[in-house]
A and B are shown apart, each in its own frame.
Chain A
Amino acid sequence: MSAGQGAGPAGGGKWTVLRRREAVGPLEYTRRWWMRLTVGATFLMLYAPIILLVVYSFNDSRRNIVWRGFTFKYYEKAWNNESLIEAFVNSLAIAVVNTLVATILGVLVAIALWRFRFPGKAAYEGFMMLPIVIPEICMGVAMMAFFARVGWPTGLPWPLTLSNIMIAHIAFSFPFVAVTVRGRLVGFNRELEDASKDLGASEWQTMRYIVLPYLRPGIIAGALIAFTLSLDDFVITFFTAGPNSVTLPVKIFSMVRFSVTPEVNAASTVLIVITVIATVLAMRFQSPSRRAGGEEG
């Protein structure tokens, strides 16, 4: 993952040619060896622990870190660990509901803030940002206190047992969706909206044919962010989860506290893979090349 080696085979060829022929330009900082060394070392430190974690989930040895051959046995073990699977299913259910609700709320508030002037707007915007900026633990204890105080029912059947976690997740993740969607709205030419109305479209038609299609990449990216945030959340869930509503990160935490086992590695790897896929998708939808229109006719 060092700098300079990232380009594909075609680009690689061009690169070597360039490197041989030209001296390093004054602003070509990425072509200086010490810069590459720093970046390379940083990426190594960033990725090595994660890669080792994934690798050891396939290592056929319980205690030793020496490679003893490839195995799926710890995935099987994890699969047969009922409480682990239950936690995983809980996590997914929460993430799905959270994604739906948080995306709708986030899009609504993003459009409202983009479109309207109203008294107290600055304060309203500030409060919308609060869930993003306050320490997670403060939000966690607040949620815990809230559900205890209002006497949220505990003995509900699944999936209603998860309702308090869902509510908490939506509360902290919809502002993230709003921020993402607003980022996209910044680039929106307001004259498009005027043009649509000028051509005879109603409020609703303008929303449906002009604004929402334009926002789609931002909405998808926001939804994926909401999904990952929910799936990944440990702190807030830790304070709201009851004995019957354990999520995967909470489960992993309790397992990690006891010991380091390849099963935990396997469960972690699954979570890593899901989040990485969701994240890469989200980034693709947010990338500027998509914004320009994409496909050539």
Chain B
Amino acid sequence: MESWRKNPVVFWLLNLGPAFWLFVFFIVPLTIVWVVSFGEKRGIVDIEITWTLANYVRAVEPLYLEIFWKSIVMAGIATLACLIVGYPVAFAIAFAPERLKAILLIAVVLPFWINALIRTYALIAVFRSRGSINFGLEWLWEQANGLLGLIGLGELALLGEKFAPLPLLYNNTAVTLGIVYAFFPFMVLPLYANIEKIDRSYIEASLDLGAGQWRTFFSVIFPLTWHGVMSGVIIVFVPALGAFFIPDLLGGTDSQLIGNVIERQFKSANDWPFGGALSFLLMYLTFGALALRAAVSGRKQGLEA
């Protein structure tokens, strides 16, 4: 690596474009929202920057605080679910034979590149009252009823008069499942990268010294993959926190998350100052989570995107 002074022409040629773009089309827009968040709405489009904190005060009113809290809880549950399912999968991939490993890796990553919106839509088709799951259940119900009829119990209608589809969609569970489904690969990749790096002889040493497989897992493997766990948790948690079309499409009336509230301020309610305050609070929350990860997972590793 050389000092930029040694070759300033090349340095500026390389940096001018990207730095310009980043500044004008990223930093400036964020700054605008930040400034607006200290403003007051004067008309339909007029905003006066009065450096008031009213928008932030409003954002921590119980109503919105509850939404923030709900977003955190739902994103947290979804993250935990991703971790519990993702760990064994990442583990299996890391220990698979070479050829299979490549195939499994692609298989995990592929859905991640398919539009999250489309995948959410695919879930609707599975969950809705006339969707795949209820259809399968109905078929089972009919079979069971037929069986009951065969053994002479049909008259009693033990399973009810008619199949009642399960209400799988438009509730908080659906939203949580949707988040898990959308961000699952984000969890598997960092976990895989970390498990893969473990020197196999650590595991062998542990087994050799008399620890069983489970003991080895909790005393050796899991602690060694702590970085990966932290990365995965943050990488899932952060976008889950800001999700807005998943609750919009899969959730019911009480499934509003913070993303939906922000969207409403900018799109329909047209209250930019308040929306700006909310989105900056969301951003601070995100930075908090990232800082936590940096603090926990230690000094040496940078961002593994």
Contact = CB atoms under 8 A, between A and B. Distances in A.
Interface of A: 1, 3-4, 6-7, 11, 26-30, 35-36, 38-39, 42-43, 45-50, 52-53, 56, 63-66, 104-106, 108-109, 111-112, 114-118, 124, 127-139, 141-146, 149, 167-168, 170-172, 174, 176, 178-179, 203, 228, 232, 234-235, 238-239, 249, 252-253, 256-257, 260, 264-265, 268, 271-272, 275-276, 278-280, 283, 287
Contacts, number: 271
B69 interface: no
Interface string B103-125: 11011111101111111011111
Interface of B: 1-4, 7, 10-11, 13-15, 17-19, 21-22, 25-30, 32-33, 36, 85, 88-89, 91-93, 95-97, 99-100, 102-104, 106-111, 113-119, 121-126, 128, 130-132, 135, 181, 184, 200, 203-204, 207, 213, 238-239, 241-242, 244-245, 248-249, 259, 262-263, 266-267, 272, 275-276, 279-280, 282-283, 286, 290, 303, 305
Given A109-B15, A171-B22, A268-B121, 19 more contacts: A28-B95, A35-B91, A39-B89, A43-B107, A46-B111, A53-B121, A105-B18, A108-B17, A112-B11, A116-B1, A124-B19, A131-B22, A135-B242, A137-B262, A138-B30, A272-B118, A275-B115, A276-B113, A279-B109
Contacts of A36: 92
Contacts of B303: 129, 132-133
Contacts of B22: 127-128, 131, 171
Contact of A109 (B18, B184, B203): B18
Contacts of A143: 25, 29
11 contacts: A4-B100, A36-B92, A39-B104, A128-B22, A141-B266, A141-B275, A141-B276, A142-B279, A171-B26, A238-B245, A272-B115
A118 B14 CA distance: 13
A142 B30 contact: yes
Going nearest first, the 4 A-B pairs with the smallest beta carbon separation are: A135-B242, A146-B29, A112-B14, A49-B122
A50 B282 contact: no
A109 B14 contact: yes
A26 B213 contact: yes
Contact of A29 (B28, B30, B92, B207): B92
B5 to A, nearest CB: 8
B119 A249 contact: no
